Amino acid sequence: MSDELRPVVMCGPSGVGKTTLKEMLMEKYPGKFGFSVSHTTRPPRTGEVDGRDYFFSDKAGMEEMIKEDKFVEYARVHRNIYGTSISAVQNVREAGRICILDIDIQGVKTIMNGTAHKELMPYYLFVQPHEFSALEARLRKRATDTEEQIQTRIETAKKEIAASKTVPFDKFLTNENLEDAFVEYESFFLDLYPSLSKQEEVAGSMFRNRRCLTKAFLSSLLIGFAFHGGKV
Ligand code: 5GP
């Protein structure tokens, strides 16, 4: 596989900002990335779309897929099953895009220690919170879970952060504030995929040209205003 299509496995506790970072990257580099849409038995949150955020499935259906070996990895997280299907990763790759997987630490270990590591050759990234209290606040602000679910997620997050220290991630990124975290997140990708830098140059120059045009437009308005002595 070309190095330019090696996937990125992203891991980190729920609420740490992985989805936001991924969406910002995908928006900045249209057509370059694709998200591996996982299967899950958890119900959709408000605003989540089946087939875009997850394939929302029932337990029997997922157990069947597990038996049929249809998953690259799967794990039981927060009393639900989550899994990355082989076809989810294949679809992204066939579209010629870099695949981003967002999975928990059990799934990371399954991939790292199994045949999938050799087949996919992914890079591994762990996103961690600056302070635990900030993560807890974000989970509460999201207001999508019950208090019991929030407590479960907090417990899982603690275990996940502790376990991450023993896993050889290629990068640990701390999300203290989104703007700085995105700069670091983007530069991790720019280092891995040199072709992105070219796209960034084009995007940058388009941005500069737009600013020049806006300036020219404003200047012409001012000149017109001065010429007519302020009369319309
Ligand atoms: P959430 O319910 O907040 O969307 O996700 C809960 C956790 O499940 C997160 O840590 C997320 O990374 C993980 N997760 C999502 N999809 C998968 C998957 O396909 N496999 C595994 N192992 N974990 C997943």
**Count: domains in the chain:** 1
The whole model's pTM is what?
0.85
In the residue annotation, 153 being an active-site residue is answered as: yes
**φ/ψ (deg, to 5) at 75:** -155, 160
In the residue annotation, 97 being an active-site residue is answered as: no
Residue 9 lies in a domain: yes
Residue 126 lies in a domain: yes
Q: In CATH, what number is assigned to the domain containing residue 31?
A: 3.40.50.300
Residue 220 lies in a domain: no
Query: Which residues touch 190 (CB under 8 Å, ≥6 apart)?
Result: 196, 197, 200
Q: 171: which 2 tokens?
A: 């990068």
* CB of residue 126 inside a 6 A radius of ligand 1: no
Q: pLDDT tens for the chain, 232 residues: list them.
A: 677 899 999 999 999 999 999 999 999 999 999 999 999 999 999 899 999 999 999 999 999 999 999 999 999 987 899 999 999 999 999 999 999 999 999 999 999 999 999 999 999 999 999 998 889 888 888 777 788 888 888 999 999 999 999 999 999 999 999 999 999 999 999 999 999 987 776 666 665 666 656 666 666 666 665 656 545 4
Residue 117 lies in a domain: yes
Distance from the alpha carbon of residue 102 to the mean position of ligand 1, in angstroms: 6
In the residue annotation, 45 being an active-site residue is answered as: yes
Count CB neighbours of 64 within 10 A.
12
Residue 114 lies in a domain: yes
Residue 92: Cβ-neighbour burial (10 angstroms; 0-12, 13-18, 19+): buried
Residue 14 lies in a domain: yes
Residue 19 lies in a domain: yes
Residue 84 lies in a domain: no
Q: List the catalytic residue out of 52, 79, 93, 153.
A: 153
**112 is in which domain, residue-wise?**
3-36+98-193
